[in-house]
Every structure is written in structure tokens, then in C-alpha cells.
Structure 1
């Protein structure tokens, strides 16, 4: 290579610094650790101040996306639960919890059951979804609903729905009825 080429290259490279960092810029912002810590602390504080009902999250029963759910309170007749499972008890109300946060789902479920009880509804459908998550973790809403319904004093039992009503993504819920005065049954 002639001296001309070296000198012209050297003049072109004047003022240029060698890169020390060999990592590519992906454009993805770095996580602000302090921000994450603040958000976690705020969420924990919010959870301790929220008082909804008597539904606890202290122990949540993890269930799989395709798991069939079944539970009956002591004293509930097996024949009633069999009818419920077969879809032979018509549901008079339906609630969809898709896309809600855990706290919003709990509050909505509590209010829904209170309303159904007030109107003497015998059976309702609660759609929780399956939430087959890509990270392989269990479905959150389904697991929480399974736990909450077992704790609710108005719930006699529940089973996964027939495929036409949502299959393992929904539940038929059998509720207590307090017979209204003057009602003939």
C-alpha cells in the first residue's frame, strides 16, 4: 500500500475514538431497580389496606389450565352435584372474569354472588378462563376462584362447566337460598 493511502486513511480517521464497549444497543431500556422496589412496596402496602369480604389469598390452591374443578360443601347431596355437573341445573346469571386483576376479580366475584343471593338465584356460571400461560405457570384467576368459592359462605358447591358453557374455563356454582317469607315452595 503506498504512503498516500496510509496518510489519507490517517487523515480521515483523525478525531475518531476506538469503541471500548462491544455490546449492541438493543433499544430496550434497562430496568430501574429503585422503581421496581418502589412499585413492589406500594403494591404490598395497597394489598394490606384493601379489605374485601372474607376471601383469603393466604393459601391458593394451584390448578392446571385443563384441570376439571369439583367441590361440594359437607351435607350437599351427591345427586345435586351430579345434576350440576351434567348441566341439568340452569344457571340464572353469568360472570366473566377474563382480563381482570386478582383484586378486581375478587371484588367482582363477591359482589356478583351477593347480588345472586339477594335475588334467590340457585345456580350461576363464573367464567375464569384457562390462561394457559407461555411461561408455564398456573392460571392465576382460575386458581384464585377455586380457592375463593370454597371460602364463600353462600356457595354450596361448584363444578367445571359442560363444553358448550365454557368447559374447564368456567364453573357452575350452586348457591344457598334463604327462602323469602311468603314464598310457596
Structure 2
């Protein structure tokens, strides 16, 4: 036979469990305020330590290591920060082409097609490897050709010789206009 007892609520169960508990008598003590330690400027200490580390680091920007025939260009009206970021490798290289061992006419045609294709695909940053011109008789022919073509191209916002790890002065990173710009 089933019992039809009413289920007890949580409140009733709690009161039943605490039925033999007696409240403590007040002791009339006053709790003294806890003296807090003086604040320490930990972030400031970290910042100062970081500055000292940077001062002791001989190389702050890898682009500063390589001197000489560096290619640099920033379209008029563009913020200088774009060129600084491009030189430091801030933008992701989305495609690359190598012009080594091409004659001037072939390199001109290939470079024009490459830039057109990059714009069509919506790329924001590309790398062009032109070489340093070590095998050229007088001047680095492909390097100068690349610089001239990029400077005249209306979609080129900026270009800069790559960081040493990405080709140095034998390659150039190009920032294209009006496209999404991927960053590292």
C-alpha cells in the first residue's frame, strides 16, 4: 500500500536539520581593520625591465641589418605607417614570383601578368624575387626594372625590400591597393 504523504520542501528539511543548533552569543569584540600593503607598480617595473632588454638587444629591426640598394616606395597620400609595417614583415605574403634567369622583356611581361592576376584574385600583399643583380655587368637590371614597373603601376600602394629572412634586397614585398590585407 502506498503512502500518500505530502513531499517536504527544502525549507522544511533545512529547519529539521538545524533544529538542535543554537546561535552563538555575541562577544562584543571589534575587528580591527586589516592594514593593506602599499600598492606596487608591477606593470611599470615590467615596462622598465623590457626597455632595458631592448636597449641591450643590438638588432631591433632586421631590415636595418641589410644596407645598400634597398627598394622603397610609398604612394603619395598613403600613411607612412604602411611602409614601416611592410618593411617589418607585418603583412602576410599571399603569393610570390621569381624573376631570376629571365631577360628584361620576359621579366616585364611575366611581372605585368603576375600583378594583373594578383589584383584579379584580390590579393593584398605579394613578393617579387628579382635578385640582387650579382651576375649583371653594370647594374642590377631586373631589380631596376621591377622598381620602375611597380612605381608606375596604379594599384601599387607601397613596396619595400624584404626582410633578410624573406630575400633581403633581392626581393621586394608589394602592397596592393583596395584589397583585403592579411597580417601575420
TM-score (normalizing by structure 2): 0.59
Give 3-state SS (helix, strand or coil) of 2:173's partner: strand
Q: Structure 1 103/134 Cα, relative in aligned 2: closer, same or farther at 3 Å?
A: closer
Q: Specify which of 71, 74, 88 is matched with residue 86 of structure 1.
A: 88
Give 3-state SS (helix, strand or coil) of 1:159's partner: strand
Return the offset for 1:154: 1.1
Deviation digits for residues 14-64 of structure 1 (CA, Å, limit 9, x no counterpart): xxxxxxxxxxxxxxxxxxxxxxxxxxxxxxxxxxxxxxxxxxxxxxxxxxx
Flag structure 1 segments of 5+ consecutive residues without an equivalent: 1-64, 180-185
Residue number in structure 2 paired with 1:176: 177
Asked whether the equivalents of residues 117 and 177 of structure 1 are also in contact (C-alpha less than 8 Å), the reply is: no
Runs (4+) of structure 1 exceeding 4 A deviation are: none
Residue number in structure 1 paired with 2:69: 67
Asked whether the equivalents of residues 82 and 158 of structure 2 are also in contact (C-alpha less than 8 Å), the reply is: no
Q: In the TM superposition, what are the counterparts of 1:141-156 in structure 2 within 5 Å?
A: 141-156=142-157
**CA distance, structure 2, for counterparts of residue 76 and residue 155 of structure 1:** 11
**CA distance, structure 2, for counterparts of residue 114 and residue 108 of structure 1:** 10
Deviation digits for residues 135-163 of structure 1 (CA, Å, limit 9, x no counterpart): 4x111000111111101111111000001
**CA distance, structure 1, for counterparts of residue 163 and residue 115 of structure 2:** 21
Return the offset for 1:119: 1.2
Asked whether the equivalents of residues 93 and 124 of structure 1 are also in contact (C-alpha less than 8 Å), the reply is: yes
- Count of residues paired in the alignment: 114
Flag structure 2 segments of 5+ consecutive residues without an equivalent: 1-66
Q: Please give the root-mean-square deviation of Cα atoms over the aligned residues, in Å.
A: 1.7
Return the offset for 1:133: 3.5
Residue number in structure 1 paired with 2:164: 163
Give 3-state SS (helix, strand or coil) of 2:148's partner: helix
TM-score (normalizing by structure 1): 0.59
